[in-house]
C-alpha cells in the first residue's frame, strides 16, 4: 500500500474539516471532489474571478451536503479569518495564476498572491490548523539553467507572478521558524486535466490545443517544437496536496517541493498524441501543426526533479501523460 492509499483509508475512517481556497478553480475543484469522495467536510473560499460554480457542481455531485461555499477574497483578512474557523487542514490555491496578467497588473498580483497568502498564513496560525499545503510554481526557477529543476537551485524571477510565489515560500519558511506554522509548499509545473479552461488569452496549451483541434482550426507551435515541459495530470497534483497538508514529517514544514513526473514531453510529442487521440475518438482529421517563431524568453527545457517529494512526502504519480491526455480529451 502506498502512502497515499494509506492516507485515503485513514481519511475515510476519520473524516476531517478542510478549507480549499480557490476551490472553484480547475485544480481546486479536483481537490474538493477527492475530499468529498473520501467523506470529508469541505469549505471553499473563492471570489469566482477565475473559478466557476459549474466546477463545484461537477465536483460535489451527490455530496453537496458536505460542501460549504464562502464567496470572498483572500486579500480580505477578515474573509480568511472566517474561512479557517473550525478547520483541521487547509489547501491554499487561490491566486492570480497568470504570468502575462501579472506583467499587465502587478499590483493586483501582489494583492492576491502575496498579501492574500500572508493573510491566510496569519489566520491559519491563529486558528491552530493542523496542516496547510499551498501552491507555489516552477516560475520561481526563473532563469535557472538546469534542465531538471532542483528545489535548492533557483534563478532570477522573470515576472511579478514568479516573485509573488517566491515571497510565499519565504513567508511560509519564516512563519514556520518563528511561529510553528505547519505549511508545506508545492511547486507545480504544467498541470492538465478535465475542467481546465481552454478560453482566454492565458489558457494553458493542452486545453487550448484540444479545443482548437476539435473546432477544426490550425494549431501553432512556437519554434521547432522541441521545447519540453513536465506535464502532470491533475489527480496526481491532488495527491501531492493531500499528502502535504496532512504530513507529520517535521522536515517538510516550512519547506517546498517540486511536483511533477520527473520527465519532459516535447511540444511536438504533445501535438502528435493529441492529434491521434482526437482522430481516434471521432471522424475528424487534424491538420499538421504550423510552426512559427520562438517566443522571446521561452525556456527550452523545464522538468521537475521529483526526488525530494517522493522521499519526504511519499509522492508516487499514478498517471502517465498518455493516461491523463486520454481522459482529458474524452472530457472535452
What is the set of active-site residues?
161
Asked whether 89 and 245 are in contact (CB, 8 A), the reply is yes
Q: Which residues contact 119 (CB under 8 A, 6 or more apart)?
A: 74, 75, 76, 77, 80
Could you give the CA distance from residue 187 to residue 306 in angstroms, rounded to a whole number? 10
What is the Cα gyration radius of the chain? 19
Could you give the CA distance from residue 104 to residue 100 in angstroms, rounded to a whole number? 6
CA distances from 43 to 204, 243, 324 (A): 27, 19, 27
Asked whether 115 and 75 are in contact (CB, 8 A), the reply is yes
Q: Which of 191, 213, 202 is nearest to 290 (CA)?
A: 213
Cell of 123: 489566520
Could you give the CA distance from residue 23 to residue 109 in angstroms, rounded to a whole number? 19
Place of cell 509548499: 185
Place of cell 491533475: 234
Amino acid at each position: 500500500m502506498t502512502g497515499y492509499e494509506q492516507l485515503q483509508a485513514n481519511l475515510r475512517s476519520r473524516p476531517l474539516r478542510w478549507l480549499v481556497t480557490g476551490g472553484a478553480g480547475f485544480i481546486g475543484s479536483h481537490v474538493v471532489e477527492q475530499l468529498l469522495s473520501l467523506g470529508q467536510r469541505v469549505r471553499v473560499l473563492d471570489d469566482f474571478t477565475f473559478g466557476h460554480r459549474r466546477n463545484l457542481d461537477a465536483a460535489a455531485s451527490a455530496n453537496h451536503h458536505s460542501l460549504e461555499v464562502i464567496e470572498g477574497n483572500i486579500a480580505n483578512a477578515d474573509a480568511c479569518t472566517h474561512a479557517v474557523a473550525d478547520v483541521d487542514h487547509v489547501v491554499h490555491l487561490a491566486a492570480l495564476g497568470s504570468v502575462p496578467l501579472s506583467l499587465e497588473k502587478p499590483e493586483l498580483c501582489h494583492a492576491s498572491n502575496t498579501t492574500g497568502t500572508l493573510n491566510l498564513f496569519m489566520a491559519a496560525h491563529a486558528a491552530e490548523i493542523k496542516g496547510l499545503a499551498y501552491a507555489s510554481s516552477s516560475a520561481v526557477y526563473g532563469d535557472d539553467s538546469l534542465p531538471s529543476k532542483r528545489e535548492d537551485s533557483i534563478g532570477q524571477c522573470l515576472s511579478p507572478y514568479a516573485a509573488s510565489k517566491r515571497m510565499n515560500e519565504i513567508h511560509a519558511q519564516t512563519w514556520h521558524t518563528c511561529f510553528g506554522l505547519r505549511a508545506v509548499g508545492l511547486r507545480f509545473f504544467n498541470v492538465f486535466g478535465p475542467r481546465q479552461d481552454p478560453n482566454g488569452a492565458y489558457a494553458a496549451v493542452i486545453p487550448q490545443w484540444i479545443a482548437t483541434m476539435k473546432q477544426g482550426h490550425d494549431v501553432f507551435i512556437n519554434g521547432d517544437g522541441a521545447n519540453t515541459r513536465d506535464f502532470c495530470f491533475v489527480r496526481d497534483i491532488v495527491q501531492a496536496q493531500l499528502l502535504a497538508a496532512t504530513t507529520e514529517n517535521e522536515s517538510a514544514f516550512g519547506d517546498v517541493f517540486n511536483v511533477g513526473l520527473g520527465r519532459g514531453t516535447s511540444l511536438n510529442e504533445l501535438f502528435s498524441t493529441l492529434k491521434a487521440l482526437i482522430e481516434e475518438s471521432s471522424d475528424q482529421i487534424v491538420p499538421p501543426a504550423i510552426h512559427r517563431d520562438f517566443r522571446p524568453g521561452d525556456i527550452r527545457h523545464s522538468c521537475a526533479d521529483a526526488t525530494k517529494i517522493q522521499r519526504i512526502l511519499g509522492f508516487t504519480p499514478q498517471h502517465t501523460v498518455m493516461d491523463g491526455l486520454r481522459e482529458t480529451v474524452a472530457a472535452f
